[in-house]
Amino acid sequence: MAKPKKPRTHAPDPAGAAARLPWQPPAPPVPTALLISLAALLVRVLVSVGPYSGQGAAPKFGDYEAQRHWMELTLHLPPSDWYRNTSDNNLSYWGLDYPPLSAYQSLFHGRIINASLPDAVALRSSRGYESPESLGLTLGAIAGVLSRNDLFAAALFTLAINHKQMSLYFAPAFFSHLLGKCLKRKYPIAEVMKLAFVVLGTFALVWWPFLHSYEAALQVISRLAPFERGIYEDYVANFWCSTSVFIKWKRLFVIKPLKLMSLSATILAFLPSFVHQVKSPSNLGFLYSLMNSSFSFYLFSYQVHEKSILLPLLPASLLALKEPQMYGWFVYFALFSMYPLICRDQLLLQYIAILGLFFLIYYSPGGSHGKRLNISCRAKVVLSLPFLCSFLLHFTYLQIEPPKRYPFLFDALIMFICFSQFVLLTLYTNYKQWMLDTHSRSVGVKKDL
């Protein structure tokens, strides 16, 4: 649910207009940041009054119930039982499947709610699934890297991984960038050792309750990587799901080769950007590489969920000033890829409002969206085609009953369109990352986070 915030942070940047917006310079920076954060928080609060995921959908309800259940678990059980199937902890009913730091957080929230509202009715978040905290930790880590505070960044990023395994999407970028930087220094081995020490230390700290035995740790890990669920779920706009229309991956292969295939495909996909960062690490290149590596995971890794598109969105929003068109395009299709999910959760009204808000902020008065890409007319037509299709699909999906033989026809169409756009986008960002060197050798830090 990190979408509305990012545009807020980036929209009000441009030069003075005839109508001076109150948050434009010379507005004081700290109150302005406060204003933006408050406005972003307001939007979240507003969305939260809508129905939440799985409301009234017995017997498993949804993500909201999962979060509530975790609070209950962590509050009442000792840490050693958190990930184990015991009489009190039935893992098939929303067993804990996030890393320990997340569990600690559940415990913390549970304590608060336990203190104030024993009935535990307060925490209502319509899509509190893609928890912004781990994205926040990652964001902190990126800020650390950009301001050359590598050790701190490594620690924060380790925390992020321990909060949600999903943060691994960014790992190749972090790894390659830090490695590339270390190799450029005087004593590469010592630098790498230092980083390794920090990372392992942080890991040990977080995993402390589970380290007493090998089994306990293994139990946690097996909960975190649920391979039994299959290579894809529903209609996620990634490679495996999109091609499954032609090649029935699930039928052709058992789990093991599929795992290997997805792993190698993912590695192949992020390899170019990885190599680039090891070879010539730069701040801007790092941001592109973050986007590329998370995209490669989204497109090719095992068991991807629709909501994971939020992970590439984070670096994309950091690149928003550099690539405004790409960003607007991406946000639109990222939201669109979650459209079936949103309809299922009955959040259509919220979807419209959020999409509207995003584009209003994107085209805020006084914005510098005047500078258009120099693309030819034909390219424009080609690009506007998927846009038009998606626009029509919005209505079709709601109004027209799909044919009996293909009940998920429109879901599949949405998936195809988004997949094609995502592939285009990642090709584009890979290209841009490699072109960085040829354009300018030294790109300074322009991003202030």
Partner 1 sequence: MAASTSPPAAAAWAFAVATCVKLLLVPTYHSTDFDVHRYWLALTHALPARQWYTDASSQWTLDYPPFFAYFSRLLALPAPLVDGTLVSIPVPDAPPFTHLLYLRLTVAFSDLLLLGSVLLLARDARQRQRPFLALALVLWSPALLAVDHVHFQYNGFLMGLLLLSLYFLEQGWDLAGGVVFASLLCSKHLFLVAAPVYFIYLFRHYCCGRGVVKGLGRLVLMGAGVAAVFAAAFAPFMYYGQIQQLFNRLFPFGRGLCHAYWAPNFWVFYIILDKVLAFLLRRLGFNIAIPEASFTGGLVGDSSPFAVLPKVTPITTFLLVILAMTPCLVKAFSNPQPKYIIRWVSYACTCGFIFGWHVHEKASLHFTIPLALIAMDRLKDARHYFLLSIASCYSLFPLLFENQEYPIKVMLLLTYTTLMWVGFTSHFAANSDQEGKKVNRSGSTVMKNGFIGWIGLSYLLGIAAIELWSQVFHHRVFGDRLPFLPLIMVSFYCGIGMMYSWMWQLVYIVRHT
Q: Footprint of partner 1 on this chain (CB under 8 A)?
A: 14-23, 25-28, 31-32, 34-35, 38-39, 41-43, 45-51, 121-122, 124, 349-350, 352-354, 356-357, 360-361, 363-371
For every residue of 11-51, DSSP letters joined together read TT-S---SS--TTSTTS-HHHHHHHHHHHHHHHHHHHHTSP
β-partners of residue 232 are: 304
Nearer to partner 1, 26 or 59 (CB): 26
**Closer to partner 1 at the Cβ: 355 or 443?**
355
Minimum separation from the CB atom of position 367 to partner 1 (A) = 7
107 within 8 A of 75, measured Cβ to Cβ: yes
The residue (of 45 and 400) whose beta carbon lies closer to partner 1 is 45
Residue closer to partner 1, measured from CB, 278 or 361: 361
DSSP one-letter string for 141-172: HHHHHHTT-HHHHHHHHHHHHHH-GGGGGGHH
Cβ nearer to partner 1, comparing 90 with 368: 368
Q: Shortest gap between Cβ of 432 and partner 1 (angstroms)?
A: 24
> Locate tokens 């929209």: which residue?
11
| CA 68/CA 128 separation, integer angstroms | 11
Q: Which residues contact 102 (CB under 8 A, 6 or more apart)?
A: 70, 96, 131, 134, 162, 163, 164
**Closest of 313, 341, 343, 349 to residue 422, by C-alpha:** 313
- Judged by beta carbon, residue 24 or residue 219, the one nearer partner 1 is 24
Closest CB to partner 1 among residues 284, 354: 354
Q: What is the closest distance, in whole angstroms, from the C-beta atom of residue 67 to partner 1 in the complex?
A: 17
CA–CA gap between residue 335 and residue 338 (Å, rounded): 5
**In the complex, what is the shortest distance from the CB of residue 23 to partner 1, in angstroms, rounded to a whole number?**
6
**Distance of alpha carbon 73 from alpha carbon 89, whole angstroms:** 7
Kindly state the smallest distance separating residue 68's Cβ from partner 1, in Å: 16
CB atoms within 10 A of CB 417: 20
**Which sign does the torsion angle of CA 127, 133, 134, 139 carry?**
positive
- Closest CB 439 distance from partner 1, rounded Å: 24
Nearer to partner 1, 46 or 383 (CB): 46
Q: Which of 26, 29, 35 is nearest to 8 (CA)?
A: 35
Question: Which two structure tokens, joined as six digits, stand for 88?
Answer: 């009190």
Whole-number minimum distance, CB 76 to partner 1, in Å? Answer: 25
Q: At its nearest, how many Å lie between partner 1 and the CB of residue 327?
A: 17
Q: Are 21 and 12 in contact (CB under 8 A)?
A: yes
